[in-house]
Amino acid sequence: MANKLKKIVVMNTKYHQHPKDIIITVGKKVSIIALMVITIATTAFAGDNNTLNFKGADHFKKMFPNATKVVYEVKKEFTEVNFTWNNLILQAFFDTKGNLIGTSRQIEVSALPLAYVMEINRQYDGYTIDEAIEFDHAENGMSYYVVVSKGEKKYVLNVSTNGEISVFKKMKN
């Protein structure tokens, strides 16, 4: 931050302003912006189950009436809600109209269906299954996202309801 302020001072000294005045002005603007961002982030996106303000909030409250530690983020195409319910750490996703897309949770690799593990091991011989997420799609049912790695290679695989495996994302190690 100090280097950025020094660059601003150097650039603005040609306007015959005192460098100290520029630093104070820039510093105040940065402080005000930081305070505004913190305030907006904490009031708009976090709260208990009674202060939710996003499309789908009523649906969420009915589905998870005792949810705690609720934090949500409204994105361009959906809203992501992270929360705890019945001692489970979960996520729910709602579309822009407030309809449930699905819910997810991280699970132990050992909780993956055996047939899926065997097929992953067959298709990705020598890879290690590092993590697994269970995703219950509101329309398509249960599927899994599984992270596998081997040396420098790392993939997020999608295992569909019918057991079909596809690469969801290639990751950098």
pLDDT in the model for residue 50: 53
- β-pairing, 128-137 vs 141-150, is antiparallel
Query: What's the CA dihedral at 115, 117, 122, 124 to 10 degrees?
Result: 150
Return the domain boundaries, the chain: 2-42, 48-105, 108-172
- SS3 percent helix, strand, coil of the chain, rounded to 5, is 35, 40, 25
CATH class of the domain defined by 108-172: alpha beta
**Strands laid side by side in the 141-150 sheet:** 46-47, 68-74, 78-85, 88-95, 100-107, 128-137, 141-150, 153-159, 165-172
Taking only the tens place, the pLDDT of each residue in 105-164 is: 999 999 999 999 999 999 999 999 999 999 999 999 999 999 999 999 999 999 998 889
Taking only the tens place, the pLDDT of each residue in 38-87 is: 333 433 344 455 577 788 888 899 999 889 999 999 999 999 999 999 99
pLDDT in the model for residue 44: 39
